[in-house]
Amino acid sequence: MNKCYSYKSVALLAAVISLFAFSGQASAGDELNCVMCHKHRGLSRIDENGEFRLFYINQELFDSGPHRRNKCKDCHTDIDRIPHKPAQKVDCAQECHIVEPSGKRNFTHKPIAETLARSAHGKLDAEGNPKLFQEDYPACKDCHDQPFYRPVSVYKGTVHPGVSERAISRCKSCHKSGDFAEDFYEHVTSRLRKTRFPTETIDVCAKCHQDPQFRKRHELDDVVTTYKQTFHGKLIALGSEKTPDCLDCHVVAGENTHLIESQTVPTSAVYKENVPATCRTEECHTRAGPNLAGFQTHVTYEREKYPMQFYMLMGFKGLMAVVLYFFLTLIFLELLRRLFPNFTFIKDKNEGEDPQQRGR
């Protein structure tokens, strides 16, 4: 993902997000006392590629994020002494030392990485050969750069963002020790709503799919712009959260969101035969017939690909130009005529005073 993405943007984003982050509890993970250095806002350097790197860690932001129970070394495994050499990039698929309560095993994002590898975004094709332009295929952090964490506060039928103190008090009557109740409340409730607003999801996809160089390399249409021209995209731009974003149509209902497949793959949500089922999912076009699948969503108005749309658009534009230019010219000349009401090259001979003649 060269060019699409850099640490600089993450750092800037982190700084912006920190404005919104609510105050957290003391960090559990810093056994090596990393923040002794990394708490300094100016901790940065220009790396070998000439890119600006910011190493500042915002403690408040970290403590409100999903990884706050991880120790630094859980992810940055190659650091074994202080001061340390430049660290390796974090591999999200490695095991961390958080024990997963359901299976009593160490937690890892590996299954997600495996799902992603099977999807259209995987680096290998079906035969296991590397795809062209390897660097364009996303890794975890290319999409998950905004650690928004939005628990919902549900109590007596009212729903609003945040941790519900009233609700959590019921958990705490048994789960008294540490932050266990808070952590699990957030863990569960953050999944009860969309973790991103639809506009954020669209922006994540747009980072690559709207980049002209990227689209040229992979011979892709500008699906983001064309999506934004649909009623789905427009309603989302106007603040609707009930309208589908990219993931709602490109992930099979109930399937892992990381398994986005190409429209040529028979199991894909947007494979021709599967589109009716995708449109007809529970919340959407429930009463739709199979023909709804014939609706073309990502219309580029190119003459070769979408001739009907191209000629209709040209027709309406032409009609509009003819009607409006005609009347605007007329209005302009009429306003001009008022300045010289009586001037004429040829005097009208019939300008008689006989009123009977006037009505002609």
Closest Cα to residue 290, out of 300, 303, 302, 280? 280
**Is 345 among the residues that bind other proteins (CB under 8 A)?**
yes
**Is 277 among the residues that bind other proteins (CB under 8 A)?**
no
Give the per-residue contact string, 180-219, with other proteins (x = CB under 8 A; - = no).
----------------------------------------
Stretch of 26-34, 105-113, 125-133, 233-241 contacting other proteins, by CB under 8 A: 233-241
Smaller CB separation from other proteins, 129 or 286: 286
Q: Which of 4, 135, 238, 250 binds other proteins (CB under 8 A)?
A: 238
Q: Which of 45, 217, 285, 303 binds other proteins (CB under 8 A)?
A: 285
∠ CA 203-207-210, rounded to 5°: 95
Give the per-residue contact string, 288-317, with other proteins (x = CB under 8 A; - = no).
xxxxxxxxx--x--------xx--xx--xx
Q: How far apart are CA 186 and CA 164, in angstroms?
A: 10
Residue 51's identity, in one-letter code, is E
Q: How far apart are CA 183 and CA 171, in angstroms?
A: 11
CB 312, min distance to other proteins, A: 5
Closest Cα to residue 23, out of 60, 66, 62? 60
Q: Which of 31, 83, 102, 343 binds other proteins (CB under 8 A)?
A: 343
* Token digits of residue 151: 């628990």
Q: Which of 81, 156, 176, 242 binds other proteins (CB under 8 A)?
A: 242
**Is 283 among the residues that bind other proteins (CB under 8 A)?**
no
**Is 159 among the residues that bind other proteins (CB under 8 A)?**
no
> 3-state class of 24 per DSSP?
coil
Residue 241's identity, in one-letter code, is E
**Is 228 among the residues that bind other proteins (CB under 8 A)?**
yes
Stretch of 117-125, 246-254, 261-269, 325-333 contacting other proteins, by CB under 8 A: 325-333
* DSSP letters for 132-198: SSGGGS--HHHH--------EEEETTEEEES--HHHHHHHHTT--STTHHHHHHHHHHTTTS-SS-H
**Is 12 among the residues that bind other proteins (CB under 8 A)?**
no
Stretch of 26-34, 66-74, 250-258, 280-288 contacting other proteins, by CB under 8 A: 280-288
Strand partners, 54: 44
CB 193, min distance to other proteins, A: 17
**Is 330 among the residues that bind other proteins (CB under 8 A)?**
yes
Q: What is the DSSP letter of 92?
A: T
SS (H, E, C) 107-139: EECHHHHHHHHHCCCCCECCCCCECCCHHHCCC
**Is 128 among the residues that bind other proteins (CB under 8 A)?**
no
Strand partners, 161: 152
**Is 272 among the residues that bind other proteins (CB under 8 A)?**
no
∠ CA 121-122-123, rounded to 5°: 120
Using CB under 8 A, list all residues that contact other proteins: 228, 231, 233-235, 237-240, 242-243, 285-296, 299, 308-309, 312-313, 316-317, 319-320, 323-324, 327-328, 330-331, 333-335, 337-348, 350-351, 353, 355-356, 358-360
